[in-house]
Amino acid sequence: MASDYAIETSDLAKVYRSRWKRREVRAVDGISLNVARGSTFGLLGPNGAGKTTFVKMLLSAVHPTRGNALIFGRNAREPEARRPIGYLPENHRFPTYFTGTGMLDFYAALSGMESRERRKRIPEMLELVGLEQWGSVRIGKYSKGMLQRLGLAQALIHSPSMLILDEPTDGVDPVGRMQIREVLTRCEEKGVTIFINSHLLAEVELFCREVAILDKGKVALSGKMQDLTSGKGYRLTVGETPEALMEALRAKATSVASRNGFVDFQFATRQLANEAVDLLRAQRCEIESLAPTTSTLEEVFVRTVAK
Amino acid sequence: MKDSLTATVALIRDTFREALARKIFWGLFGLSTVMILFFLFLLRIDLMEGGVAFVSAFGRFNGTRDVDKLVRGVYGGIAAFLYTWGMFLAVFASAGLIPSVLEPGRIELLLSKPVSRTHILLGRYVGNVLVVSCNIIYLVLGVWIILGIKTGIWSPLFLVSIATTIFAFAVLLSVVILIGVLFESAALATMVASALMVMSIILAQTSFMLRLLSSEWSRQIWRTLYYSLPKIYDLGSMTLNAIQSRSFDGFMPIWTSALFAAVVLGCSLMIFARRDF
């Protein structure tokens, strides 16, 4: 039963059919995705790309139309497959009659934790997310950011092997966001698989090592963050340059931009950048700077989704 | 097994917590207290002594036998009243406790736990039955003690109404659950459960109605409806007969109602297991 993957899906699909109008919507359209144990994985996509449906199928809240999903080698439909998962849903609605402590106690009990263990873990979790003073307060009084941190504590309380987080920093202020990142980094160090579904590309770029971009229910792009965002070219910045030379450089560059009396040339390969340097030095022109550039995840995302 | 028990207790406790937070528990408790106080008031106007005087004045008073008969009559009437009162209150109070669990943002988190959907729904069902049971026990026991102190006659058969009221509520709750799972509407669940209660009064007049109906197929429809729907009225009559030590025609209302509840609950579980959230 042991698997190298925390998540394995093959041809996973969900089609919503309207009973009367015979219309169908393919929310998820044959996704095959593997997430290695201990990795930090970001799932991205525009609104309606099928991210939340995909996550819900992993948790068996939505039944797939076809394909299957395995969690640590177990069929996701089995309740036992969800034991190693800590989940924080997007737009959660924790019952407001709970206190922070009561809420953690309830969800920990559902995860199978015994009373003694729960009593020990709850104060630790509240402290971990900076809510130690709020345990006895009804959660109806909590701010959105506090609810989010409490939700994270709920996901972590039973020491899961995998965290599935849907927009974990939604509504959280920058300090809170940093705290959440710190908590997640500690989990990563312990070997916990972290699967984040988020719109905040900068957050994902900062934290995740692997990423998949969904579009129209399919995986449009996936791979290691480093591979997707690195090695995209070289930026050469020059000062005063003769017009003829400018034309020659422009012909080699993928883009040209002027700023404060300098001109930035973007070259796709090292060879092209070197040829440009040779041309400039042959005419004794000054080079202000030369640096390799990387694409931001946002650029990769926009390029992928706009195709 | 131990994990399963922990989860069941958590689900039941959660139902109690929600019933307390929504003031359902204390609402039922308060109304039951009002009812008990009402009987306490009746005790002050000497209902029983008045009744004995009435029997003596209009016939030959036959000592303890007549008093016993009178007390049993009063007990039966009160039990029937408490049965109806308790049933309506319980259905109204608990109808919202199922749809609330299915709210988006709440159900996903519940389903993400290593607990089966059947377990979640049954945990909620049992929790609901226990919330109502606490109040019915309090109400019937309270009234029984007051009547016992007043009359000096402690009829243990009166306590049968605890079991029948809880049973009838459990049957109706299965309908509330089905409507909750299908439509997530507390109002509709209350309407359907109330309609079943009223229909059971009409359908209970089977022998009379079968004489009135002219065609065989309409009589067949009547019989089908009578035997397939829960017999809330008949269960109340059984309670009354038991308290008054009168005979009753078998246990058919109990087992057919139990069968109805099992089928409806089974359907609810099946629909809940197949639904996407």
Confidence of residue A231 (pLDDT cuts 50, 70, 90): low
**pLDDT average, residue stretch B25-52:** 76
In this prediction the ipTM stands at 0.84
Closest CA to B133 of B162, B91, B161, B175: B162
* Average pLDDT value for residue range A83-106: 94
Say whether residue B105 is in contact with chain A using an 8 A CB cutoff. yes
What is the rounded average pLDDT of the residues A2-26?
A: 88
Two structure tokens written together for A76: 């996701």
Beta bridge partners of A211: A42, A223
Task: Round to whole Å and give the CA distance between B109 and B94.
Answer: 22
- Which residue's entry shows tokens 């022998």? B207
Chain A contacts in chain B segment 83-102 (CB below 8 A): 100
Encode pLDDT of A174-211 as tens digits: 888 888 889 999 999 999 999 999 888 888 888 899 99
Tokens at A40, concatenated: 């930090």
Among B11, B20, B115, beta carbon nearest to A79: B115
Confidence grade of residue B70 (pLDDT, cut at 50, 70, 90): confident
Mean pLDDT of chain A: 91
pLDDT surpasses 90 at B63:
no
| Contact A25/B at CB under 8 A | no
Q: CB A79 to CB B277 under 8 A? A: no
Please report how the helices A115-128 and A100-110 are oriented relative to each other, as an axis angle in degrees rounded to 10. Answer: 130
B18-28 pLDDT per residue, tens: 999 989 888 88
Q: Is the dihedral of CA A98, A59, B101, B262 positive or negative?
A: negative
Give the residue-averaged pLDDT of A217-231.
83
Q: Which residues of B25-40 are buried (b: 16+ CB within 10 A; e: fewer)?
A: beebeebbeebbeebe
pLDDT of B255 over the 80 cut: yes
| Residue B77 scores a pLDDT above 90 | no
What is the pLDDT averaged over residues B38-47? Answer: 70
Q: Which of A110, A117, A154, A163 to mutate to test the interface with B (most CBs of B within 10 A)?
A: A110
| A270 vs A231: CA distance, rounded Å | 10
Instruction: Copy the structure tokens of residue A53.
Output: 């449906």
| CB-based burial label for B126 (10 Å; 0-12, 13-18, 19+) | middle
Q: Read out DSSP for A14-77?
A: EEEE-TTT--EEEEEEEEEEEEETT-EEEEE--TTSSHHHHHHHHTTSS--SEEEEEETTEETT
Instruction: Compare CB distances from A114 to B6, B112, B274 and report the shortest one's residue.
Output: B6
Task: Mark which residues 120-179 of B lie under 8 Å from A by CB.
Answer: none
pLDDT of residue B3: 81
Is the pTM here over 0.90, yes or no?
A: no
Rg over CA atoms, chain A: 24
pLDDT of residue B38: 85
Element (H, E) at A5: strand A5-17
Q: What is the pLDDT of residue B48?
A: 56
pLDDT in the model for residue A82: 96
Mean pLDDT along residues B145-164: 87
Give yes or no for A121 touching B (CB within 8 A): no
Average pLDDT of the segment spanning B198-216 = 88
What pLDDT shows up at residue B4?
A: 86
Q: Is B9 on the interface with A (CB under 8 A)?
A: yes
- 10-39 in chain B: CB under 8 A from chain A: 10-11, 13-14, 17-18, 20-22
- Measured between beta carbons, which residues in chain A are less than 8 angstroms from residue B17? 97-98, 102
pLDDT > 70: what percent of chain B?
91
| Average pLDDT, integer, range B23-45 | 83
Under an 8 A CB cutoff, do A114 and B277 touch? no
Cβ contacts from A onto B, under 8 A: 90
Q: What percent of chain A has pLDDT over 70?
A: 98
pLDDT band at A11 (very low <50, low <70, confident <90, very high): very high
3-state secondary structure of A217: coil
Contact indicator for B6, B119 with CB cutoff of 8 Å? no
Considering only CB atoms, A95 lies closest to which of B2, B6, B18, namely B18
Distance between CA atoms of residues A113 and B64, nearest Å:
60
Using the structure block, give the residue that is written with the tokens 């497959």: A81
Comparison of pLDDT for B116 and B80, the residue scoring more: B116
Task: Specify the pLDDT at position B19.
Answer: 92
Q: How far apart are CA A63 and CA A210, in angstroms?
A: 26
Give the range among A120-129, B79-88, B183-192 with minimum mean pLDDT: B79-88
For residue A115, pLDDT over 80 is answered with: yes
